[in-house]
């Protein structure tokens, strides 16, 4: 189909443009994708830095928040990148790339092979694979987790329905209160309370209020109440 050049190679070739037709190259699309990739790259590096800092100083409280924020940004960027790639998928799939004759093939062999590479690197393949399998396992976990949570909620509701809450005593306590010993205990408790109140009353000379500090101060200053 049409010929397209990655921009690095393009820079090398523009010095000597041998009547090349650029009009069919989807420059704007490619540029867009390149920008997005750049952003992702930057964010990934930042995230890596934060993770490193966090590992060194795990007690720096807010670091966790920073990492989460950056991850959020990264996810958004991945989203827009994926959308961009998706909308241009046809174009990207059908485009063949090859260098122009002016490209210094022998000197820049490494660069050229990198630029022309269409398949992912073996290690990239590996982690894509592992990520996919992991995702399957995890999604199972999430589902079982959700189910378990639902079951727990249901059980709690069931247990709650078996009880009725009135007052501040348990059934055992209420039953004990009904027995003669329980009644005796209750009576004693009340008596104790009364005694305490009585003592309190005696201490404060029949529940007298405290003399107001102002009155006391007046006495202290002028000897009169």
Partner 1 sequence: MVHQLLLVSTIPHSSYVQTISTLKALTGQLAPQEISLYTMLTKPHHVFKPKFEPGKVNQIEQYYMKCVTTWEPSKKATKMDIAEPVFPTDEIVVDKLFTNGYKNVWTLQIADIPIAGKNQVVSARTIFESTLVHHHTSVDGKDSMLQFLDDLGYDVINQYWVNGVQFFYGDVVIEILKLFIRDDEKEGIKLKPLDSSNSFQIRCYRNIPKSTDIEMISQGTKELLKLQEHLKNLFQLEVPDRMCMDSRVQNPV
- Contact residues toward partner 1 (CB under 8 A) are 200, 202-205, 208-224
Neighbours of 21 (CB within 10 A): 8
Report d(CA 178, CA 169) in Å as an integer. Answer: 13
Report d(CA 123, CA 168) in Å as an integer. Answer: 66
**Token output for 225:** 């109440």
Residue (167 or 213) nearer to partner 1, CB: 213
Q: In angstroms, what is the minimal distance from the CB of 195 to partner 1?
A: 14
Q: In angstroms, what is the minimal distance from the CB of 179 to partner 1?
A: 34
Q: In angstroms, what is the minimal distance from the CB of 221 to partner 1?
A: 4
Report d(CA 209, CA 120) in Å as an integer. Answer: 89
Max Cα-Cα span within the chain: 117
Residue (189 or 218) nearer to partner 1, CB: 218
Q: In angstroms, what is the minimal distance from the CB of 168 to partner 1?
A: 24
Residue (171 or 221) nearer to partner 1, CB: 221
| Contact status, residue 36 vs residue 52, Cβ threshold 8 Å | no
* Strand partners for 97: 4
Q: In angstroms, what is the minimal distance from the CB of 223 to partner 1?
A: 3
Residue (87 or 204) nearer to partner 1, CB: 204
Q: Is 15 exposed, middle or buried (0-12, 13-18, 19+ CB in 10 A)?
A: exposed
Residue (101 or 223) nearer to partner 1, CB: 223
């Amino acid at each position: 189909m049409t010929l397209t050049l990655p921009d690095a190679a393009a820079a090398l070739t523009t010095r000597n443009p041998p009547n090349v037709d650029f009009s069919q190259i989807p420059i704007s699309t490619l540029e867009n994708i390149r920008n997005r990739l750049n952003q992702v790259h930057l964010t990934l590096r930042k995230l890596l830095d934060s993770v490193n800092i966090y590992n060194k100083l795990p007690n720096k409280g807010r670091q966790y928040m920073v990492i989460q924020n950056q991850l959020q940004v990264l996810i958004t960027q991945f989203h827009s990148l994926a959308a961009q790639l998706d909308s241009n998928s046809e174009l990207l799939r059908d485009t063949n790339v090859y260098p122009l004759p002016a490209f210094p093939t022998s000197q820049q062999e490494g660069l050229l092979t990198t630029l022309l590479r269409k398949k992912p690197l073996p290690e990239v393949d590996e982690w894509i694979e592992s990520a996919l399998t992991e995702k399957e396992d995890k999604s199972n976990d999430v589902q079982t987790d959700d189910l378990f949570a639902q079951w727990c909620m249901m059980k709690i509701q069931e247990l709650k329905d078996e009880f009725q809450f009135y007052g501040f005593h348990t059934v055992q306590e209420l039953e004990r209160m009904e027995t003669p010993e329980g009644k005796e205990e209750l009576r004693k408790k009340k008596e104790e309370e009364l005694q305490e109140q009585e003592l309190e009353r005696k201490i404060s000379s029949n529940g007298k209020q405290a003399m107001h500090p102002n009155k006391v101060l007046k006495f202290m200053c002028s000897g009169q109440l």
